Amino acid sequence: MAVKQHILVVDDEESVEILFQQYFRKERKKKELVLHYANSGKKAIKVLEQHPDISVILTDITMPGMDGLQLLAHVKEHWPLVPVVMMTAYPDEDMMKTRTAMNSGAFDYLEKPLQMETVTAAIVAAEKEKRVRQADSERMKLEWYQRSGHQTINHVSAMKWKAQLGEKVINQFLSTKVGQESVTVPSKFLIEQKELLMSLAELATISIRPLQQVALMDRQQLPNIKLRTSDIDLVFILQKTVMHLENFATAKGLELRLETPENCTIQADEIWIAELFHNLVQNAVKFTEEGQVVITLSEESSFVVVTIRDSGPGIPEDKIEFIFDHGAQAGDKEQNSQGTGIGLSLVKNVLDLHGGLIRVDSKLAIGSTFTVMLPKQQPEQEEV
């Protein structure tokens, strides 16, 4: 047993506790295994409340007070991921109880006197079952979040676009031409409405961010994600990114600089692209302790190039190829190496959706440069 395990043994016979202590003494001494004991169902519940890391429960069926069947029902309701193995000294008399337990969700049952090799095998199998249950639970939660998140993203995106449209209409109305002279129509009310719409659009962008991260966590779902493409000003998006992270950089004593042409229009999903560059720049600022983070934008005939260059600790060469994996870490946090986590995984997925590429160049103690290449045009997609 290489991984530290927490096992709860529930039995009103003291000899059972002694048996487990003796048999697993080596594992306990190496701190590979932690045994918890309770001589009743009620005490077992208290142990579970105090130790949520319990991985397997072994409980006698027949006990005074709350018996094993009642404990099983309580565990299934409050700790459904924890497998329960039933134990009985009376297999013939407890046959109906054992059948009831198995039908009620018990993982396995053992007969007394206990054969500890069989007990060990049951524990290993039960822990494997718990990992399967946890994976299934996480997958189901992720699928639910992705379904509901996708719908919410569409609704909030529509709200943002309507706010931006309203802002444009007000801008057109505020500035009218009479003859050759430009005259601004004085309207405090319209100006206030414009500011309100701008705030609403910004709030929509912030609200969508966590939903976007969930939606892109599973690469298998990428073919099901449809882009809402439009002509967007990439310079404006980068300016907003710098504005959002400027205080963060200033607090660390860093220079956050943006070098771009006056404008640069590409066809892309504005919300996803904004999230892409927010993650890249935030990552650079987060792991740079002194110096600068510089973002540059240039154009080629059919694509644009954005580089994010920092003076951080750099990424070890053997870690670079893995930094876009979900949950990956680029280095040892204690050595202050540049980390990644979900951010760069999301970046890679957004680029895949847009047909873009990313390259990483890094040197330890000098810094890292992330180069993003995005096509100016996107193929037509069906409306979602």
Tell me, what CATH number does 82's domain have?
Answer: 3.40.50.2300
User: For residue 376, what is the enclosing H or E element?
Assistant: none
Nearest to 104 by CA among 75, 132, 64: 75
Choosing from 88, 114, 140, the residue where a domain stops is 114
Q: What DSSP character marks residue 53?
A: T
CA distance 279 to 212: 12
* Residue segments in the chain with a per-residue pLDDT below the cut of 50: 1-3, 177-180, 183, 185, 219, 329-341, 383-384
In-domain check, residue 211: no
Parallel, antiparallel or unpaired: strands 181-184 and 175-178: antiparallel
Q: What DSSP character marks residue 355?
A: T
In-domain check, residue 98: yes
Block residue for tokens 């594992």: 27
In-domain check, residue 54: yes
Assess whether 384 and 246 both reside in one domain.
yes
Helices (H), the chain: 14-23, 25-29, 41-50, 68-78, 95-103, 116-174, 188-215, 234-251, 270-286, 342-354
In-domain check, residue 148: no
Assess whether 104 and 249 both reside in one domain.
no
In-domain check, residue 198: no
In-domain check, residue 79: yes
Block residue for tokens 């990439």: 234
Res 153: pLDDT: 59
Is 0.75 topped by the overall pTM? no
Res 2: pLDDT: 41
Rounded to whole angstroms, what are the CA distances from 110 to 60, 216, 264?
9, 44, 70
Domains identified in the chain, total number:
2
Assess whether 102 and 245 both reside in one domain.
no
Res 212: pLDDT: 59
**Residue 187, helix vs strand vs coil:** coil
Choosing from 79, 114, 149, the residue where a domain stops is 114
Cβ distance 296 to 277 under 8 Å? no
Q: Is the peptide bond before 223 cis (omega within 30 degrees of 0)?
A: no
- Residue 176: exposure state from Cβ atoms within 10 A (0-12, 13-18, ≥19): exposed
Assess whether 243 and 384 both reside in one domain.
yes
CATH of the domain at 364: 3.30.565.10
Res 191: pLDDT: 72
Q: What DSSP character marks residue 318?
A: G
Q: What are the phi and psi torsion angles at 87 (to 5°)?
A: -125, 140
Res 155: pLDDT: 61
DSSP for 117-181 reads HHHHHHHHHHHHHHHHHHHHHHHHHHHHHHHHHHHHHHHHHHHHHHHHHHHHHHHHHHEEEETTE
Domain residue limits at 232: 227-384
Parallel, antiparallel or unpaired: strands 357-363 and 367-375: antiparallel
**Residue 56, helix vs strand vs coil:** strand
Choosing from 114, 140, 171, the residue where a domain stops is 114
In-domain check, residue 68: yes
Residue 320 CA, chain-centre distance (Å), reads 21
CA distance 285 to 281: 6
